[in-house]
Amino acid sequence: MSIPEKCCHNSFIFNSIPSKENYQANLWQHFKGIEIETQKDIFDDEIFNLMDFDCDQRDNVHFFYTLPFAKNKALIETTWLSKMDGKSLNDYDIQLEIYIKETLKIENYKINYQEEGAIPLFYPENKTDKNKINIGSAGGMTRLSTGYTFLNIQDHSKYITNNIEKIQNTKVYHIGKKYEFLDYIFLNVLKNNPDKMTKIFLNMFKASSKTVIKFLSNKSNFFEDLGIILKMPKWIFIKNIF
C-alpha cells in the first residue's frame, strides 16, 4: 500500500479514517463536551440526562447531554444532528456556557477537560484495498440513526480476531440489513422533518428501557422492533420509505 512519501510493507493496515467524499452534503452528529467540576454538590450522580431538547434548535436537531461522574463533577455536551456546510452551529463554547448558567443554574465551575468531534451519519465511500481493513466509522460500524458506534466496534473486532487467518477471503462485516433499512428511513425523516424530531425521539423512549437499549445495540427481535415502530408517527415514516 502506498502513502504519500512513504511505502508500507506489512500484512494488513487497519484504517479508521472515513472518506471525506460528500463531506458537506450529508448529515453529521457533531458535538463538544466539557467536564466541569463545582465546589458544591449539584448533580445527582445516579441519574444522567441523555437528551435535553429544551434549547435553541436553529432549524436542525439539537440537544444537550449531561453525564454526572460525581455530585460535583459531570460531562456536559452540546450535540447537533445536521449538515456541516457552515459554521453557524459551531459556537459550541457559547452554547455550553449558556446552558450551564441558564438551565443548570451553575455559575462557578472549573473545566477539567474538553472533547470535540463529528460522527458521519452516512456510510463513507472508502476504497477497498486488498490488505486494508476499514474499522470504526470508516468500516460502517456507526448506527446512522443515533451515531452509536462503540458496541459495534467491539463486535467487529471479535469478528476480525476470529477470522484473521483468512480475513482476505472472509465477507465484510456489516451491522445488519434490518438496521440499515430502519436507519435509512429514520435519516430521511430527520432530513425532511427536523422540527418533528424532538417528539419522535421522546416517543421512542416511551418504550421500555430494555427494549430501547436492545434496539440501539442491534440486539432486538421482531417484536421489540415492532414495539419501537408503534411509538413512531406512522404516516411520516411511511412517506419517507421512498
- How high is the mean pLDDT in each 10-residue block of the chain (242 residues)? 59 81 81 97 95 95 97 98 84 97 97 94 76 90 90 94 87 90 93 94 90 89 92 91 82
CA-atom Rg of the chain in angstroms: 20
DSSP 194: G
**Integer angstrom CA distances of residue 119 from 84, 91, 116:** 11, 18, 10
Q: Note the pLDDT of residue 145.
A: 86
For the chain, how many structural domains are there in total? 2
Q: Is residue 12 part of a domain?
A: no
Q: Is 67 within a domain?
A: yes
* The last residue of a domain, from among 87, 120, 153: 120
Q: Which residues contact 70 (CB under 8 A, 6 or more apart)?
A: 43, 45
pLDDT value of position 156: 95
CA-closest candidate to residue 152, choices 162, 166, 138, 167 = 138
Query: Within the chain, what is the greatest distance between any pair of CA atoms?
Result: 58
Tell me, yes or no, whether 135 lies in a domain.
Answer: no
pLDDT at residue 21, rounded to an integer: 65
What pLDDT is attached to residue 22?
64
Task: Identify whether 211 is part of a domain.
Answer: yes
The reported pLDDT for the residue numbered 132 is 85
E strand segments, the chain: 2-3, 6-7, 13-15, 27-37, 49-52, 61-70, 73-83, 110-120, 132-134
Residue 202: inside a domain, yes or no? yes
Is there a domain that residue 116 lies in?
Answer: yes
Answer yes or no: is 143 within a domain: no
* pLDDT value of residue 141: 93
Contacts of 52 (CB under 8 A, 6+ apart): 63, 64, 65, 66, 103
Residue 111 CB: number of other CB atoms within 10 A? Answer: 11
Geometric angle at alpha carbon 141, from 137 and 144, rounded to 5°: 85
* Amino acid type, 172: V
**Domain assignment present for 51:** yes
Range of the domain at 205: 177-239
The pLDDT, as a whole number, for residue 96 is 98
- Give the per-residue pLDDT at 5: 60
